[in-house]
Amino acid sequence: MHMNLRQLEVFRAIMISGSVSGAAQLLHVSQPAVSRLIAYTEQRLELVLFERIKGRLYATKEARQLFGESESIYQNLQRFNELAHGLSRQAGGALRIVCSPSLAHGLLPLAIAAFARVYPDVRITLAGLQLSDLVDRVTTQRADLAVAMVPLQHPHLQVHNVFRNRVVAVLPPGHRLLRKARIAVSDLRGERLIGYHPDTPLQQAIQQMFDAKKILPTRVAEVEQIHVACAMVQLGVGIALIDELAVLNGAWSTLEIRPIVAPIDLQVRLGYLRSEPLSGLAQTFGGMLENLEHPALHRVVARPAGKP
């Protein structure tokens, strides 16, 4: 036999309050109604859920086990009801976005801030993830949009380029290279560099720059995230090469930024599930991201069809 949602609600109320009267108050119903429903539930489940001992109600071992399992069901139901309520008023909803880690610090907060000014009641979740997780979240419909600095190659994804993303140098105040408006790769010879894991698109682009000039860089540290590299620059460990969009929101304002003279662009891509229509919110966010205005945003002139 099965327990329906109303029975689950009454059962949970008794477990939380510890009594039939307490459950009745929580649910705004009569005590006899609670008693009848829980008795019917025990009959249907063929389980004793509560025992009365000297006038007090005690949950059985079976009830405690069921209660542990019931919490996740109840929380999911709450989220469902919240979303349905928002959609019914056309004033809410949810948008799930995943992105490359560095874009979570600069580009995406800027885009989300612009979106939130127009749609303040929409709940947005943002996660900075590596490539395999980005693709998995979208293809399993656990995310609506992916914004990535890596190729989103998957047969179920529709992808187009949005921005070109340049490599720039982050320098501490007083550094010798600040006298230059633009830094050549050869200017970095002998500089103490904070680098990244070799598998990251940013580190691969940086390595290509040095390989093209036959320069062996001096790496003093390896980190996983750009904001950690910037923190090290601020503390005098060395200098860092980062993607320009990572500092769009004005983070690390005490550090200086200089463009690198190198023919390398790190494309920013927007990806979404090809087989499912995008929600109105996802379409709107994609359009706002594409039309975001900032001096550091270099737009892609042409892109594949399939605009959201």
The pLDDT score that the predictor gives to residue 303 is 45
pLDDT in the model for residue 299:
60
H or E segment to which residue 98 belongs: strand 94-99
Distance from C-alpha of 151 to C-alpha of 160, rounded to nearest angstrom:
10
Share of the chain above pLDDT 90, in %: 33
* pLDDT at residue 95 is higher than 60: yes
Per-residue pLDDT at 86: 55
Region 132-138: mean pLDDT is 88
In tens, the pLDDT along 173-189 reads 999 999 999 999 999 99
What was the pLDDT predicted at 305? 39
Residue 61 exposure: Cα atoms within 13 Å on the Cβ side = 0
Angle at 126 between CA 121 and CA 128, to 5 degrees: 170
Which is higher by pLDDT, 153 or 249?
A: 153
Residue 148 token pair: 């990535």
Q: Please provide the average confidence, as pLDDT, over all residues in the chain.
A: 85
User: Is the pLDDT score of 279 beyond 90?
Assistant: no
CATH number listed for the domain at residues 165-265: 3.40.190.290
The string of pLDDT tens digits covering residues 42-84 is 888 888 999 988 878 889 999 898 888 887 787 777 777 766 6
- CATH class, 94-163+266-299 region: alpha beta
Instruction: Say yes or no: do domains 94-163+266-299 and 165-265 share a fold.
Output: yes
Q: What is the pLDDT of residue 85?
A: 61
pLDDT of 294 > 90? The answer is no
Q: What is the pLDDT of residues 242-268, one digit of tens each?
A: 988 887 766 777 888 898 888 776 788
Question: Cα–chain-centroid distance for residue 14?
Answer: 37
Beta carbons of 39 and 14 less than 8 angstroms apart: no
User: Does 5-88 carry CATH code 1.10.10.10?
Assistant: yes
Structural domain boundaries of the chain?
Answer: 5-88, 94-163+266-299, 165-265
Give the pLDDT of residue 82: 65
2: pLDDT strictly greater than 80? no
What is the percentage of the chain residues whose pLDDT exceeds 70?
Answer: 90
Range in 101-105, 142-146, 178-182 the model is least confident about: 101-105
pLDDT surpassing 90 at residue 87: no
A 10 A CB-CB count for 163 gives 26
pLDDT of residue 97: 95
